[in-house]
Amino acid sequence: MAGTLTRKQFEVLEALAVERGSVTQRMLEAKTGHSLGTVNRIVKDFSEAGYIENGRITAAGLSALEPYRAKRAVFIAAGFGSRLVPITLNTPKPLVRVNGQRIIDGLIDACLAAGIGEIYVVRGYLAEQFDQLLYKYPMIKFLENPAYNEANNISSAMCARYLLQNAYVFEADLLIRNPAIIKRYNYTSNYLAIKKSRSDDWCFTMKDGIISGLKIGGLDCYQVVGISYWDEDSGKKLAGHIKQAYELPGGKEQFWDMVPFGAFKDEYRVEVRECAEDDITEIDTLRELCDIDRSYKIY
């Protein structure tokens, strides 16, 4: 069983790793959506390789999954959050409390639940306020973005460009409702998106199941959610491409994710990982914040 896992092998082994207890082949059939015959063949191969024993994943099986494990998380948290004024005049948007909890806390908690303990926060606006996170999350490391006020969020990606291998990248102002969308293992680079019949927001264009570009608005489309995962190869390429894009004329005005889906899109194969409307919410306006947390109705 040496070498790279096939997609089906990965999905069976991931299901075993997530469950941890003894899992029957019928259960694996239900969890993976693969036929019982396919599951049987994979389980037989895994048992012979020592990846499975008595319906449980072994240490060797976990080692086989290691190349697919999310090892770190990078939070893009340097911006001003102008659409939440006056709330953000004194508080960075990721630190705004919604129903008693800071927005960023839910995202960090989801990472920790997925076994991701290497966490970086790129900060800029009111940077010192992020120090409060250390009381609850002492493992956080901060990256300073000195250009946050004169450039788009590609400047934050520049600060973190060498940390994107086997990494999640988060917009830090997303209110997560389903922490399970942050997975411990990912087979390939992917970007979360919500299937929509109509959207006026940023959407992905697709070709053969792979993201081919970004556009504003669309019908029967995938609306972008600001959470992505980058495997080792893609993360290595991003380090160089982000710098190249940033240094081009007008490069500082780009959103960071235009790099893999714009000038360098032929270099990447990124899948959409579909999530539900209720899994995560981007609070764009003060009215939306008031609708979610009535304590803000005074504004």
Q: What is the pLDDT of residue 299?
A: 56
Q: Are 231 and 188 in contact (CB under 8 A)?
A: yes
Asked if the domains 7-67 and 69-296 are classified in one and the same CATH topology, the answer is no
Domain boundaries, the chain: 7-67, 69-296
CA distances from 92 to 84, 124, 154, 275 (A): 10, 9, 18, 27
Mean pLDDT for the stretch of residues 59-72: 96
For the chain, the average pLDDT equals 93
Pairing relationship of beta strands 271-275 and 190-207 according to DSSP bridges: parallel
Q: Can you tell me the mean pLDDT for 155-183?
A: 96
Residues near 116 by beta carbon (within 8 Å), at least 6 away in sequence: 70, 71, 72, 73, 168, 182, 184
The 10s digit of each residue's pLDDT in 191-200 is: 999 999 999 9
Interval 100-121: pLDDT, tens? 999 999 999 999 999 999 999 9
Domain 69-296, CATH homologous superfamily name and number: Spore Coat Polysaccharide Biosynthesis Protein SpsA; Chain A (3.90.550.10)
pLDDT digits 0-9 by tens, 8-64: 999 999 999 988 677 888 888 888 899 989 999 999 999 999 999 988 999 999 999
Say how far apart CA 232 and CA 164 lie, in whole Å: 8
| Confidence band of 276 (pLDDT split at 50, 70, 90) | very high
Name the token pair of 17. Answer: 């790793």
Cα dihedral 167, 168, 173, 174 in deg (nearest 10): -170
The predicted pLDDT at position 118 comes to 97
271 in Cβ contact with 209 (< 8 Å): yes
Q: What is the CATH number of domain 7-67?
A: 1.10.10.10
